[in-house]
Amino acid sequence: MKRFAQLIQELELSNKTTDKMEALVNYFNEANPLDKPYVIALFTGKRPKRPITTTLIKQWAIELSNIPEWLFTESYHSVGDLSETIALVLPPAAHTVEKPLHQWISELANLQSQTDEQKKAYILTAWNSLATQERFIFNKLISGNFRIGVSNKMLVNAIAKQSGNDTNKIMHSIMGKWQPNQISYEELTSGSHVNTDNSWPYPFCLAYALDNEPEQLGDTNLWQAEWKWDGIRGQIVKRNGELFIWSRGEELVTEQFPELHFLKDELPDGTVLDGEILAVKNGMVLPFSTLQQRLNRKTINKSQLDGAPIGFYSYDILEHQTIDIRNEPLSNRRALLEKLITSLSTKQIVLLSPTIKFNSWNELATIRETAREINSEGIMLKHQDSIFHAGRKRGDWWKWKINPYTVDTVMIYAQKGSGRRANFYTDYTFAVRDGDKLITIAKAYSGLTDKEIKEVNSFVNKNAIEKFGPVRTVKPELVFEIAFEGIAESKRHKAGLALRFPRIARWRKDKKADEINTLDDLRQLLNANS
């Protein structure tokens, strides 16, 4: 645990990729061999189940620290992270216990079947034997809320550097189903177990945003253009008579989309398709807000099936006749994909994502401007000779998105962030005008520079009007331009509207609060895109 706590501290204190990479490599060189698979699991989102409720943990921490609840609450609002707050308010440990990370995680898992009194006795004993930083990690393990600023790509590159194994093989290996208590670090990083699971997906190939004029890509004949659809990226896997559907977030979502289950009978064994799960009706792609009605549901009723019918737009084929063909050029894979999709009986559910014919970059730019008419986000550009690599590789695939919508808003609420931002107000709520009132329309957490964050923080400290727990109501004076990808009706929001992917485009210091947009402006935008 001590070595893992040291790793977390090194990662949290550094903003440089090279320093984080070095910290990860050193950890995998030095750590307990049984701990390493658990660390990979934690960093890739395979969190252990929460054995104890947050309410009980908070209650026990207040009792042990012997402070009033209001003071604990104020401390929490100041720190911004419950696990860290508990670690800080507890009295110093009476003694230290040296246990490896995998043992702590196993013991926490065993608490699932125990009584609250047994759980309390274990937690208090643990707190009394851990230093502050180790307590913080321990609390994170209890809550299951383990977020570290390490991308899968960075983790894989560090493992590759430490182990000498191929990055693609490592990326493939850490996806899908595996249990950290049932596999060694060497087995996991070498990929020796990859083919034992029929459901195993491949790492997704991702694109960089096009940051130059498309003309710089050269001859148009070397590029395949497709629409960039706004849905759930997924892989359909058919092996040994079984069908599996994976999301890009490495979640098995087969049961959520019964419309696609016919593929179990029609896809040949040893087939893996890459594509986009969308709401599709009569061959037309519906808005993402329609698709949302189907997401994360354990059961799907007839009303949902009728209201948000599902389709799968196929982009690529990664496995053909049990053979991994990701290293074949895109042009070859596309030919195989077209032949396969054409052979299916239900072409209104599984469709071939169409390529876009164009003779010049200017012509494609004009076509791109029509993307929203078909609920697309823009255009994907893929080199005809590109392989299906793991993650992103600059130069092969590009996403050329249409410009976002924008709206001028005023900030009315602010809340402190977490982690390194725990001392600054970085979470903001924005409003537009509705007659004489201000009505909230979006929250945003990104888009400002460090200097601007400090300026906003100073404004909040000087101009806070009311306090609701960690939230501060502020004078409605700061105007921000909010960018977003789409707009939809929403019963969950007071405005009756929801913005998709809102973020701060810029701080409009040139505008006053009476110049912001109105709710009617947004409703007109919604109607124009209906």
423-427 long-range contacts (CB < 8 A, ≥24 apart) are: 424/453, 424/454, 424/457, 425/456, 425/457, 425/460, 425/461, 425/472, 426/453, 426/457
Query: Which tokens is 70 given?
Result: 């209001």
**Which residue is listed with tokens 């609060």?**
513
DSSP one-letter string for 135-150: HHHHHHHHH-----S-
| Beta carbons within 8 Å of 115's beta carbon, 6+ residues apart | none
What whole-number distance in Å separates Cα of residue 340 and Cα of residue 481? 46
CA atoms in the 13 A half-sphere facing the CB of 499: 26
For the record, the structure tokens of 43 come out as 């960093």
Q: Are strands 232-239 and 271-281 parallel, antiparallel or unpaired?
A: antiparallel
Please say whether the beta carbons of 407 and 441 come within 8 A.
yes
CA distance 81 to 203: 32
CA dist., res. 100 & res. 111, Å (int): 18
- Total residues belonging to the chain: 530
The DSSP letter of residue 232 is E
Tokens read off for 287 = 């808005």
SS3 24: helix
Q: At what angle do helices 54-65 and 69-79 cross, to 10 degrees?
A: 110
Query: Among 416, 414, 367, which residue's Cα sits nearest to residue 225?
Result: 367
Strands, E assignment, 384-502: 391-392, 397-401, 405-416, 425-434, 437-444, 464-468, 471-474, 479-484, 486-489, 497-500
Do residues 207 and 355 make contact, with C-beta atoms less than 8 angstroms apart? no
Q: Would you say 56 and 116 are in contact if contact means Cβ atoms under 8 Å apart? A: yes
- Residue 459 to residue 451: CA distance in whole angstroms: 13
Distance in angstroms (rounded) separating the CA atoms of residues 99 and 102: 8
Which token pair is 140? 């994170």
Which residue in the list 36, 228, 238, 382 is annotated as catalytic? 228
Angle, alpha carbons 23-26-27 (nearest 5°) = 85
CB atoms within 10 A of CB 128: 17
How far is it between the farthest Cα atoms of the chain?
Answer: 75
From CA 430, how far away is CA 63, in angstroms rounded?
38
Tokens describing residue 208: 């960089």
Active site residue 228: yes
Q: Where in the sequence numbering do the catalytic residues fall?
A: 228
